[in-house]
Amino acid sequence: MSGTPKQDFGLFSNVLPSTRLRWKGRVEFVIEYLIRFAGLSTILIVGLIFYFLLREGTAAFLDIPLRQLFGNRWYPIEDFFGIWPLIVGSILVTIGAVIIALPLGLTTAIYLGEFAPQWQREILKPLIEVLAGIPSIVLGFLGWVALAPIIQQMGAPTGLTIFTGSLILAYMSLPTIISISEDALYAVPKGFRDGALAIGATQWQTTWRVILPAARSGLVIAVMLGIGRAIGETMAVMMVTGNAANIPVLGPDMIFQPVRTMTATIAAEMGEVAQGSLHYSVLFWIGIVLFVITFGINSLAGRLMGTQAGRRRKGQL
Amino acid sequence: MKRQQANKLAVGIISAVAALVVIPIMLVIVFIIVRGISAISWEFLTAAPRQGMTEGGIMPAILGTVILTFGTFIACIPLAIGAAIYLAEYAGDNRLTHWVRLAIVNLAGIPSIVYGLFGLGAFVLFLGLGTSIIAGSLTLGIMTLPVVISTAEEAILAVPQRFRTVSLSLGATRWQTIRHQVLPQALPGIITGVILGLSRAAGETAPILFTVAAFYLPQLPHSMLDQTMALPYHLYVISTQVPGMPLSIQYGTALVLLLIVLSLTLVATIVRTSMRRRREW
């Protein structure tokens, strides 16, 4: 026990400092490698999701002619696998949801961004976050036990209709629409607002003629992501749209007819099919169609976001 | 002044529409609390369902949801935090990064039922895990990735650049800087994102339909390879699949699920606010 006190190198106390440093450098190399891998794995996962959908769903379009796959009769027991009624169902419910959610969402975003006093903002924003947090099954349950009877009392033949689904979907996509449009409004440079007010425009004129046009690309993104959310919603829609796989007859009371969406079909029927059967792979085929639709919408929105960010950097917004 | 009147009218309409958004949210929550509170009892929370689920409690479903949420946490965290660090600290402004971001936007937009299909194809069948807690957790974990990545990235980016500059200038390596300076500062923000992501996962039904959820399983799971009941699926089952179900049990189940999810959201909000208050920068 003489001489200089032994320096403590922790775990590596028995190796020379230089080796220890090299070791540490190597550990660091591995960690950075793992981090890069984690980042790139997101691309890999999207690829894997598509791959596994294809893997299980290919049989559908190998065995059934495309004409029939997009035919207008969905009746799996007799091997009619036309998904057209399901696509129409999804589109109708989504359009209904957008028609309801768009004015509500945009107006709320404008209110929050331009008109609401600070104290209201501090109450409203958490409330909208709460709405985003309510599980879809809970809203579906409420639609099923509480909203559907009301709609039936209003004179519809059944309470489980396109309208019921659209109404619930609208509220489910509101948080997305509100938060993204609010960001878009917020991103409009303050100078625009001040300039308009300074030349005597009212608050409303400023909003309508200056802020909204300047924010329009962001608002488009908000609507697109809202649509993407609405078209993929499953449980609530399955519970309240009536699940009738038919194409509603065009007309004024169309919105009070039941439909069945793509998502609901997968959720309702996957539990009952035999693995590897044709019906099974057709359900995966519907999944592929859904994947492609949402992938298209989101990629486009992502591109717009990219160009928007670019424009902002260049100071053109 | 006509202009001023138009302005007043517009502001009035806008406020009314905003109320149209907010009031139903409050109504929904109050409604479920009022209708569900009578069903909540010690027995309801701690007993297994009896008599074809029309009596007894929902304990296996509650526990299943807790287990699945924990499993989601394990499955999601390493990859999500890694990806967030990559995007915030390592990614250059190039094509590859652009693709990673596009992938994350798309992951966030993939319908939950498609995640369910993926879980069925990849984990249940291809990896042979069967309908099990492990398969369900992995599916939910992947679904939760984009939420956690985006919030964690934001939290890391919010750490001021000077923390990094000083640390690097003292001779620390890039990883040492991240590990000892950036991550501790970003931790509360990351935790907020993680909790928010988990609260989504806890309430999801579609991804667990074919990967883990059991229709009725009165005993508790024994291993990670067992099926389990889960609250969201249980609510679906008792409200649509079982005839003659007492309404109070349905509302009670909805209330318990809502409370679990909203309390997670509340915790996340509290962490975020206290973080903003305590921040040194």
Task: Please write the tens of the pLDDT for every residue from A277-291.
Answer: 889 999 999 999 999
- Give me the residue label for tokens 């160009």: A307
**Distance (Å) from the alpha carbon of B281 to chain A's nearest alpha carbon:** 22
Is residue A159 predicted with pLDDT exceeding 60?
Answer: yes
Given a contact cutoff of 8 angstroms between Cβ atoms, the answer to whether A47 and B99 are in contact is: no
Q: Which of B224, B214, B207 is nearest to B118 (CA)?
A: B207
Q: Which residues, including other chains, have CB under 8 Å from residue B126's CB and lie 6 or more apart?
A: A52, A55
Q: What is the pLDDT of residue A3?
A: 43
Q: Confirm or reject contact between B158 and chain A (CB < 8 A).
A: no
Rg (CA), chain B: 23
Chain A residues touching B135 at Cβ < 8 A? none
Helical axes B112-119 vs A262-269, angle rounded to 10°:
40
Q: How far apart are CA A226 and CA A6, in angstroms?
A: 64
Write down the ipTM of this complex: 0.91
Domain A66-314 sits in which CATH superfamily?
MetI-like (1.10.3720.10)
**What value does the mean pLDDT of chain A take?**
85
A254-271 burial, b for 16+ CB within 10 Å, e for fewer? ebbbbbbbbbbbbbbbbe
Task: Please name the residues between 70 and 129 in chain A that touch chain B, using a CB distance below 8 Å.
Answer: 103-105, 107-108, 110-112, 115-116, 124, 126-129
Domain boundary assignment for chain A: 13-63, 66-314
Q: Considering only residues 52 to 81 of chain A, which have any Cβ-Cβ distance to chain B shorter than 8 Å?
A: 52-53, 55-56
Interface contact flag, A38 B105, Cβ < 8 Å: no
Nearest CA distance, A305 vs chain B (angstrom)? 10
Task: State how far the Cα of A293 lies from the Cα of A298, in Å rounded to an integer.
Answer: 9
For residue A80, what are the β-bridge partners? A75
Annotated domain spans of chain B? 2-38, 40-278
At residue A26, the pLDDT reads 82
Q: What is the pLDDT of residue A308?
A: 67
Q: Band the pLDDT of A9: cuts 50, 70, 90.
A: very low
- Give me the pLDDT at residue A18, please: 59
In CATH, the number for domain B40-278 is 1.10.3720.10
Which one, of A139, A5, A245, A218, lies nearest residue B239 by Cα? A139
| CA angle, residues A227, A231, A237, in degrees to nearest 5 | 125
Residues of chain B with pLDDT under 50: none
Alpha-carbon gap: A253 to the closest alpha carbon of chain B (Å): 24
* Each residue's pLDDT tens digit, B87-99: 999 988 888 998 9
